[in-house]
Amino acid sequence: MGELSQENAPIYEALENLRKMRVVPFDVPGHKRGRGNPELTRLLGEQCMNMDVNSMKPLDNLCHPVSVIKEAEELAAEAFGAAHAFLMVGGTTSSVQSMILSVAKRGEKIILPRNVHRSVIGAMVLCGAVPVYVNPQCSQRLGIPLGMSVEDVKRAIEENPDAKAVLVNNPTYYGICSDIRSIVKLAHEHGMYCLADEAHGTHFYFSDKLPVSAMEAGADMAAVSMHKSGGSLTQSSLLLTGPGISTGHVRQIINLTQTTSGSYLLMSSLDISRRNLALRGKETFEKVMELAEYARSEINEIPGFYAFSRELINGDSVFDFDVTKLSVHTLEVGLAGIEVYDLLRDEYDIQIEFGDFGNVLAYLSIGDRKRDIERLVSALSEISRRFGKEKVDLLEQEYIPPHVAVSPQEAFYAPKESLSLKECVGRICSEFVMCYPPGIPLLAPGEQVTQPIVEHIVYAKEKGCTLTGPEDEKIRYLNVLKGVEG
């Protein structure tokens, strides 16, 4: 890397040099630095449009980096303690899918929790890998899936010694962490890779007061959503690899699905954000933790709301907790999480990350301010007073253990028919059904449709959850395998 240090942002610096050169563009994109699309230029600004350029020699090429992108990746690897880092412009979905495709082929097994993001199962549809689920333990009070028990992972490994990898959420959407160090050790002792979905754990790399990061725990690969808590633009991500992974092989896998026209807006945002975190991340996330703890203490004074934290830690299925996650249980106030989510937006102009049946999540990161926290706390206090009622019998169980009948790939591509939800019970689903966010499937291709799952879907619709996945826009029908019972 020569003279480069974490003070540098090679891609951004190359773009600045290009801007000063006043190069006449006879290449794509066709808006030609914004001149061809004045309305879009007014919306995004001239500087943004000037930096929306194509790959060229001074700017390197994302498919085969040899200069500034390569330097940016090396700096990112150094900042995150990885052997290598890939800049990803297809979101962390692309990072997760590249991880899976790099280690597993058709018919090969991956051990994983069922509360994975749809991108994990989507990767299995693409490569034909077979999931072996470790059903996460659940908190009956909160109605949320927890982490994976080390003993459950050990049992799955012993029962499936031919599995290629173990995948861990580090953390879950709610901030819950499994014992990733022990799981990495187990996987490696049995000749398996350990992969981490770290979509919600970017900040773990920049504080010793937060749970351990995947790379520090010895994981082989980690997908990191820089755009979530790291400050880069939406859809930008990092794929980190450890020393035992072939960089060239992973690059080939990435290039199967990632665009050949990598956005320099996204790449420069990764470059600048990495620099910011490397130089100021520790103090920045210290402030985020302080804000979250302040918010929790205030919310826990409001009747009916419970902002949970490290008190959930039990040394196993909740091995650690990400205190930057402001997760709030709502059922004691007589409202489903999705109802609180809607009230905050519709009555108080506050947009939080998501609401499920019993909880809401306010996502705190480097851009939050104390006065915004105070506004949220005030709104929740008013909601408790204005809309709170006696706790009612709401559907609390968020996690329904699946019955996997066939592999995701086999189900996705099999002949299918469309049936009403009621008629689907007992049949094998060929598509996804999920509440989004968080994008964790209620049903995935290859799983049997059961009565509790149908009730779950109907209840989610009634409560106003945003359901996605099926071909039928109104989720009245599902595609199931034709002529096949579960």
For residue 210, what is the domain's CATH number? 3.40.640.10
Residue 210 and residue 171 share a domain: yes
Higher pLDDT, 382 or 358: 382
Give Cβ neighbours of residue 415 (< 8 Å, ≥ 6 apart).
481, 482, 483
Structure confidence at residue 382 (pLDDT): 98
- In this predicted model, what pLDDT tens digit does every residue of 103-144 receive, in sequence order? 999 999 999 998 899 999 999 999 999 999 998 888 888 988
- Does residue 112 lie in a domain region? yes
- Does residue 400 lie in a domain region? no
Point out the domain boundary residue: 247, 278, 309: 278
- In this predicted model, what pLDDT tens digit does every residue of 332-362 receive, in sequence order? 999 999 999 999 999 999 999 999 889 999 9
Point out the domain boundary residue: 263, 278, 293: 278
- In this predicted model, what pLDDT tens digit does every residue of 260-294 receive, in sequence order? 999 999 999 999 999 999 999 999 999 999 999 99
Point out the domain boundary residue: 232, 250, 278: 278
Give Cβ neighbours of residue 73 (< 8 Å, ≥ 6 apart).
65, 84, 85, 86, 87
pLDDT of residue 397 exceeding 90: no
- Closest CA relative to residue 433, chosen from 396, 410, 406, 400: 400
Residue 235 and residue 126 share a domain: yes
Q: Given pLDDT bands bounded at 50, 70 and 90, which one contains residue 437?
A: confident
Query: At 418, which CATH number?
Result: 3.90.100.10
Query: What gap in Å lies between CA 148 and CA 130, rounded to an integer?
Result: 19
Structure confidence at residue 435 (pLDDT): 83
- Does residue 393 lie in a domain region? no
Structure confidence at residue 1 (pLDDT): 46
| Count of domains forming the chain | 4
Element holding 139 (H helix, E strand): strand 138-139
What three-state secondary structure class fits 284?
A: helix
Element holding 177 (H helix, E strand): strand 176-177
Two structure tokens written together for 150: 């080390």
Identity at 10, one-letter amino acid code:
P
pLDDT of residue 376 exceeding 60: yes
Residue 126 and residue 214 share a domain: yes
39-67: average pLDDT: 96
- In this predicted model, what pLDDT tens digit does every residue of 198-256 receive, in sequence order? 999 999 999 999 999 999 999 999 999 999 999 999 999 999 999 999 999 999 999 99
Residue 243 and residue 221 share a domain: yes
Residue 172 and residue 254 share a domain: yes
pLDDT of residue 485 exceeding 90: no
Structure confidence at residue 459 (pLDDT): 86
Element holding 39 (H helix, E strand): helix 38-44
Residue 205 and residue 236 share a domain: yes
- Does residue 352 lie in a domain region? yes
pLDDT of residue 257 exceeding 60: yes
Report DSSP letters for 316-378, one per residue: STT-EE-TTEEEEE-GGGT--HHHHHHHHHHHH----SEE-SSEEEEE--TT--HHHHHHHHH
Range of the domain at 348: 279-387
Q: Where are the alpha helices (DSSP H) in 64-179?
A: 68-80, 91-103, 118-127, 150-159
Structure confidence at residue 411 (pLDDT): 97
Query: What gap in Å lies between CA 102 and CA 220, rounded to an integer?
Result: 11
Residue 307 and residue 433 share a domain: no
C-beta contacts of 90-93 below 8 A and 24+ residues apart: 90/235, 90/237, 90/257, 90/258, 90/259, 91/225, 91/227, 91/234, 91/235, 91/236, 91/237, 92/119, 92/197, 92/199, 92/223, 92/224, 92/225, 92/228, 92/237, 93/117, 93/119, 93/122
The strand ranges marked E within 378-460 are: 416-420, 427-429, 433-435, 440-443
- Does residue 401 lie in a domain region? no
Residue 382 and residue 242 share a domain: no
Length of the chain: 486
Two structure tokens written together for 393: 């019998």
- Does residue 35 lie in a domain region? yes
177-196: average pLDDT: 98
- Closest CA relative to residue 355, chosen from 385, 383, 390, 314: 383
Cβ-in-10-Å burial (0-12, 13-18, 19+) of 343 comes to buried
Two structure tokens written together for 325: 């996650």
Flag whether the pTM goes above 0.85.
Answer: yes
Residue 254 and residue 105 share a domain: yes
- Does residue 402 lie in a domain region? no
Query: What gap in Å lies between CA 214 and CA 81, rounded to an integer?
Result: 10
Residue 34 and residue 159 share a domain: no
pLDDT of residue 398 exceeding 60: no
Residue 268 and residue 225 share a domain: yes
Instruction: With beta carbons less than 8 A apart as the criterion, state whether 431 and 470 touch.
Output: yes
Residue 149 and residue 248 share a domain: yes
87-115: average pLDDT: 97
Query: At 299, which CATH number?
Result: 3.90.1150.10
- Does residue 394 lie in a domain region? no
Instruction: With beta carbons less than 8 A apart as the criterion, state whether 172 and 91 touch.
Output: no
